[in-house]
Copies of this chain bind each other. A is one copy, B any other.
Amino acid sequence: MVGVSEPGKLPTVKEVAQHAGVSPMTVSRTLAGGANVRPELQEKVLKAVRELGYYRNENARSLRPGQASGLIGVAITNLGNPYYGNFALGVEEAVAETGRRIVLGNTGGDPARERQLVADFLGRQVEGLVLVPSGGPSDHLQPERLGDVPLVLASRRIQGLDVDVVLLDDVGGAYRGTIALLDAGHTRIGYLGNVSSAFTGARRYEGYLRALQERGIRPDPALVLREQQDGGSASEATRRLLDLDEPPTALFSANNRNSIGALREIGRRLRSGARAADMPSLVSFDDFELAELMPVPVSVVDHDPRQLGREAARLLLTRLADRAGRVGPARLVEMPVNVAPPVPLA
């Protein structure tokens, strides 16, 4: 039989051509849209493609000069975190709309791993890179090290790296969340933050401070704890705040992990007989499910990581669309956040 492929090997244009009784070029042209190919030949080709189960080899294709790989490299810190999962989803969706795919790597926040991933992505001829930086040194991200492969950073900026960035409106969200507590009459507002994502942490703390200052309240250093990396340390930090002689009457939590930890500690105290009225109100930067079922009023500074991902992809894709885009100035996009009021308890 003519043009039959070896078992266990994907067929090539050549085999399809043989099978259809045409030249490889006719196959190539047909698959490229069929310009300048007689319809009857096209049909023959498509039939052969179907029968042989042919898939065009995109790697070989991208080898030709001027042919893009159709791949976007995406490196994020923690895919398992719903925030980044949704971010990656947004990137994937926007990128898929242009027929491209993402190569995905998880850095786990390790700069060495990030380096490695970026190098690998470049070796795979990605057209662009989307990166949630791990925070280490960034020489490997300098434009000249990247060829002219465009890079978009998400969630944090890198000093001295002049590329497109998408961020949340961290400052504004923290500001408005804190203002909501002040409006409710609180004057002693504890701050739970983390140090690992220093950039985001700094911005959210800035919003908190700005709100206090605007209302003429001097921030009390004893109420600010910013070393928590996980729920456990956040619970511990909350315990310390609530054990103060003058405990805060409300807490601003700069992220999901701190909110969860704080609520765990609050729950513990309630189960030990504490009165709900003595527990602090909470504003949480980062939404979480069932906030309305919590034993204390929780309001959330809510945002849409999926939209953040779409926006990151959009920035990248515009640079890919035309060579002109490649040389434009770096852009900074801050995505809006929503401050939801607390659901009142019964």
Residues of A within 8 A of B (CB): 7-10, 53, 55-60, 62-63, 69, 71, 78-82, 84-86, 88-89, 92-93, 96, 101-106, 119-120, 122-125, 144-145, 147-148, 260, 263-264, 267, 270-273, 288-290, 292-295, 306, 326, 345-346
Contacts and interface: CB of A to CB of B under 8 A. Distances in A.
Given A59-B124, A267-B292, A289-B289, A96 B85 contact: no
A96 to B, nearest CB: 7
Contacts of A294: 290, 293
Contacts of A62: 59
A339 to B, nearest CB: 21
Copies in the complex: 2
B295 A293 contact: yes
A290 B63 contact: no
Contact of A101 (B57, B124, B290, B326): B124
A85 B81 contact: yes
A101 B72 CA distance: 13
B293 A264 contact: yes
Contacts of A145: 53
B289 A260 contact: yes
Nearest to A101: B103
Nearest to A122: B55
Contact of A148 (B7, B81, B306, B346): B7
A314 to B, nearest CB: 17
A264 B288 CA distance: 13
A80 B71 contact: no
Given A59-B63, A92-B105, A9 B124 contact: no
A71 B124 CA distance: 10
Contacts of A82: 80-82, 85
Contacts of A80: 82, 85-86, 89, 306
Contacts of A124: 58-59, 71, 101
Contacts of A293: 263-264, 267, 293-295
Nearest to A256: B289
Contacts of A123: 55-58
Nearest to A7: B148
Contacts of A69: 59
A289 B268 CA distance: 15
A102 B73 CA distance: 10
Contacts of A272: 346
A54 to B, nearest CB: 9
B93 A89 contact: no
B89 A144 contact: no
**Which of A273, A289, A292 lies at the interface centre, i.e. has the most chain B CB atoms within 10 A of its CB?**
A289
Contacts of A81: 82, 85
